[in-house]
Chain A
Amino acid sequence: GENVEQHPSTLSVQEGDSAVIKCTYSDSASNYFPWYKQELGKRPQLIIDIRSNVGEKKDQRIAVTLNKTAKHFSLHITETQPEDSAVYFCAASTGGSYIPTFGRGTSLIVHP
């Protein structure tokens, strides 16, 4: 089955800095890669996703890049703000069955 590795497990940055979270996947058939943000005690919320026919996608301060050859994808957050502090999960799935495999999560802490 699919295996998703996520790094780092914890990321601490100063407000205004950029943050990068990286994930690798093992199944070359995976073609859908969502990123979720989860605040403490709350549900995961989809913040951005990318499909395998696209190399990069951007939404305001958030961007995701995908390298299919290397089987890795990354989340980039620019101009971080304290409210960006949360746990971020990457996931990988195939479009047909849509059963995502999640990474272990990255706890992002943005210091004011």
Chain B
Amino acid sequence: GAVVSQHPSWVICKSGTSVKIECRSLDFQATTMFWYRQFPKQSLMLMATSNEGSKATYEQGVEKDKFLINHASLTLSTLTVTSAHPEDSSFYICSASSRDTQYFGPGTRLTVL
């Protein structure tokens, strides 16, 4: 199956700093990628849909100025958590679609101190 990578796998940062997470489709081109957030023992919550070459579409309640998404190429999307706070600590997972199937990255564990 298709492979999606994500970097970094975990990050610890101080409150107020910004963190960038990369999502790459390794063996296929993805015009659309998705960013999810998952709290412990909860489901995947879609944050935004990232479209190559255009602005991301954010879900209701997700601050677009706080969670900056850039999809500059068909294989790379980035999520930047700006001015991170402890409540932003979570597991962030990206995914990319190949045909009708969605493939997930390994996730990034963000801890904001």
Contact = CB atoms under 8 A, between A and B. Distances in A.
B58 interface: no
A contact patch SS? loop
A99 B34 contact: yes
B44 A49 contact: no
Interface in B78-113: 91, 93, 97, 100-107, 109
A104 interface: yes
B13 interface: no
Contact of B49 (A42, A99, A103): A99
Interface size class of B (residues with CB under 8 A): 20 to 34
Nearest to B44: A102
Interface string A5-41: 0000000000000000000000000001010100001
Given A44-B93, A98-B97, A99-B49, A104 B42 contact: yes
A98 B102 contact: yes
A12 to B, nearest CB: 15
Interface of A: 32, 34, 36, 41-46, 49, 89, 95, 98-100, 102-105, 107
